[in-house]
Amino acid sequence: MDLSPIIPLIPTLIEMGKSIIELVKPFIKGNGFELPQDLENKIAELEHNRNADEIIALLKDFAKNCNNTAITQTNNGQGNINIAEGSFTINQTIVNQKQENPDIKLFNEISEIFSDDFVHFIKKQDFKYSFKDEDTNALKSIE
């Protein structure tokens, strides 16, 4: 996760007395993650002490760990993300995070039905350019 748009704002927010959590939490959630409560509490404590450098270090570490997460797919299309780093753990369920691309699914179905020659033609042909009609004869077998 890339927090680079937020990181430079942290010292300014602290100077202005604005909540860093109010900015960071929706951004992190928009990237598909939840900020752990203990990390949120630690940031609030550091914010109160006006310690921008430590907040930035915590957020960078959090983002780095989010980039290194392992997603395990379950049979109902849900997955779990588990990150353990220091004193906090992140647990999140992702619904339908890794769905197969419809184009790939269609191509795989075509590959099962048609000959290798036709599959190769479909794979390589850009249909906005001309092609021989007989190259599509395999489509006539569809009922």
Q: Residue-wise pLDDT tens for the chain (143 aa)?
A: 788 888 888 888 888 888 888 888 888 888 888 888 888 889 889 988 888 899 888 888 888 877 665 443 344 444 444 444 443 333 444 444 445 678 788 878 878 888 888 888 877 888 788 888 888 888 887 76
Query: Does some domain include residue 61?
Result: yes
Query: Does some domain include residue 115?
Result: yes
User: Are residues 110 and 125 located together in one domain of the fold?
Assistant: yes
Cα separations (Å) of 18 from 22, 57, 121? Answer: 8, 19, 60
What pLDDT shows up at residue 94? 42
What pLDDT shows up at residue 97? 44
What interhelical angle do 20-30 and 52-67 show, nearest 10?
Answer: 10
pTM given for the model: 0.46
Number of domains forming the structure of the chain: 2
Query: Does some domain include residue 58?
Result: yes
User: Are residues 128 and 74 located together in one domain of the fold?
Assistant: no
User: Are residues 111 and 129 located together in one domain of the fold?
Assistant: yes
Query: Does some domain include residue 1?
Result: no
User: Are residues 61 and 111 located together in one domain of the fold?
Assistant: no
What interhelical angle do 37-48 and 52-67 show, nearest 10?
Answer: 160
Expressed as residue numbers, the domain containing 136 is 102-141
